[in-house]
Homo-oligomer: A and B are copies of this chain.
């Protein structure tokens, strides 16, 4: 089976030609258009398909992952990372533009599809339950129970990042205070780093960012921490503790066999190690014995691989 697989992120659109088990035969990245809304994104996908993979490329199905709430009909609901999208019937829009039957287009939430990729051929293989948490710009979640993605009533389940873990915490994009996303994803790390940094003039981080706040990123903190900078290690510890609280909550809710951590944070092995220690210490005893907390196998490709597996298995089941 040949699947045209697309992962629509806030920064990049990733696309590939894959087979039904997620082997990648072709892959390309293209910046996500900043304006023009969903139509501009759909046009970019058409452009990629026609100009990069060739217009004669026949595929058995199209799999699409998108960073936002998606229902089982392929309708996307006001994804926070895409300005002005509102409620968009993405499946129909793509069917029209690609001139492709909507019954062969499958749209899902990117974090859920990433979870599927890790379950089928990544580090979450066969775990039951398997919970995947993707921590990058935001926090996405995907849960597999008995090998099946937890969808919820309308396909929106798994918004683990919007779990309030501190009611006095910073404001989250969703409007609440102290969601895990606001505390331990990109912005949360930068905010915490800044709070620590401005009280510590001797930190290596100052020279790494050359005095410019806009250069302060989780990567800078990671780099400084690995060089033994006390301020950066303090940031690491604060974030790891919060992540431990968050992961312990997930353990107590799902009694998972595995938690797979993906996204940019997965590259920061000291962070994962520390958070794991806090999580296991804080979760209820019999549940903390059951869980393994591992890094994702896929960092960048998870969405594209998961979307292909999702499309292929949906096509197989609908036959």
Contact = CB atoms under 8 A, between A and B. Distances in A.
A159 B252 contact: yes
How many copies of the chain does the oligomer comprise?
2
A165 B164 contact: yes
B156 A290 contact: yes
A157 B255 contact: yes
A284 interface: yes
Interface in A143-169: 145, 150-160, 162-168
A252 B69 CA distance: 11
B255 A154 contact: yes
Contact count band on A: 35 or more
A66 to B, nearest CB: 14
Contacts of A165: 164-165, 167
A91 B257 CA distance: 24
Contact of A163 (B129, B154, B157, B249): B249
A222 interface: no
A58 interface: no
Contacts of A129: 150, 152-153, 157
A254 B131 CA distance: 13
Contacts of A285: 77-78
The 5 A-B residue pairs with the shortest CB-CB distance in the complex, in nearest-first order: A152-B255, A157-B255, A159-B252, A156-B255, A77-B286
A32 to B, nearest CB: 22
B287 A69 contact: yes
Interface in A214-249: 245, 248-249
A286 B158 CA distance: 13
A157 B255 CA distance: 5
